[in-house]
């Protein structure tokens, strides 16, 4: 297992999923992607997480993001559990879940942290860009369910900063002012950011979010 770092190409793999066999890169196509692991099927926090992801499908679609979940449970287990998720979370699971019984993908992506649990995956999240590069890695322990609003927020930031020479400040939300990239000289800002800007310090320049009307 090699360490995966930001900017690396997301390792490719073939896997069995609840929506059929996939080749990860082919399945991603031109989309952005989220690959996320959960510790085990038929567990309470995971049930709420997968139900939440199903409810956010429209938000992921708007951002051209495909989502795939993973645990080391088998396909029959996943398929039975989906019934419980749909029933208890009032949703329809609408994304594939990888059955990684041989732990091939878990090991490739370092999702098993032996000092936390020797057999089960932790709550890993990998956001992958449309160039197949890893853009974000977050790891949560089994006892803490993820905040999927935060995932949408960081995807908004990742997609904005991929296409515009800006960065997003602390606690930024879509629609708020952003920071001009330090690589841009202050005298070049007016032509590049015609909506206006403020120079708070020579290294801290803000501007309205450039990709909004």
Positions marked catalytic: 46
Residue 120 vs 189, nearer CB to ligand BEZ:
120
Hey, what are 17's tokens? 């999923």
List residues near ligand BEZ by CB under 6 A: 39-40, 43-46, 142-143
C-alpha 204/C-alpha 212 separation (Å) is 21
To the nearest whole angstrom, how small is the minimum distance from the Cβ of residue 125 to ligand BEZ? 15
Q: Find out whether 30 and 130 touch, Cβ atoms under 8 Å.
A: yes
Residue 46 vs 85, nearer CB to ligand BEZ:
46
H helices of 56-147, where? 57-62, 75-89, 104-108
To the nearest whole angstrom, how small is the minimum distance from the Cβ of residue 152 to ligand BEZ? 21
Residue 122 vs 155, nearer CB to ligand BEZ:
122
To the nearest whole angstrom, how small is the minimum distance from the Cβ of residue 169 to ligand BEZ? 33
Residue 141 vs 169, nearer CB to ligand BEZ:
141
C-alpha 119/C-alpha 96 separation (Å) is 22
The helix (H) or strand (E) run that includes residue 28 is: helix 24-28
- Give backbone dihedrals phi and psi of 183, rounded to 5 degrees, phi first: -75, -15
- Antiparallel, parallel or unpaired: β 65-71 and 32-37: parallel
Residue 178 CB coordination number (10 Å): 23
C-alpha 208/C-alpha 58 separation (Å) is 26
- Antiparallel, parallel or unpaired: β 123-128 and 14-15: unpaired
Residue 63 vs 119, nearer CB to ligand BEZ:
119
To the nearest whole angstrom, how small is the minimum distance from the Cβ of residue 68 to ligand BEZ? 18
To the nearest whole angstrom, how small is the minimum distance from the Cβ of residue 124 to ligand BEZ? 14
């Amino acid at each position: 297992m090699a360490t995966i770092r930001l900017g690396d190409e997301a390792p490719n793999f073939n896997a069995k999923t609840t929506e059929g066999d996939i080749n990860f890169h082919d399945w991603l196509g031109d989309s952005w992607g989220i690959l996320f692991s959960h510790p085990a099927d038929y567990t309470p926090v995971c049930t709420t997480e997968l139900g939440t992801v199903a409810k956010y499908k429209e938000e992921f679609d708007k951002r051209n993001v495909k989502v795939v979940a993973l645990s080391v449970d088998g396909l029959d287990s996943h398929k039975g559990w989906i019934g419980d998720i749909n029933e208890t979370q009032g949703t329809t699971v609408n994304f594939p879940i990888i059955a990684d019984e041989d732990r091939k993908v878990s090991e490739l992506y370092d999702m098993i942290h032996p000092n936390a649990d020797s057999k089960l995956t932790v709550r890993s999240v990998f956001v992958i860009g449309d160039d197949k590069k890893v853009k974000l890695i977050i790891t949560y322990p089994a006892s803490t369910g993820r905040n999927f609003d935060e995932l949408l927020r960081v995807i908004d930031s990742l997609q904005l900063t991929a296409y515009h020479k800006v960065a997003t400040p602390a606690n930024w939300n879509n629609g708020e002012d952003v920071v001009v990239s330090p690589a841009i000289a202050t005298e070049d800002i007016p032509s590049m950011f015609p909506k206006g800007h403020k120079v708070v310090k020579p290294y801290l320049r803000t501007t309205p979010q450039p990709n909004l009307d």
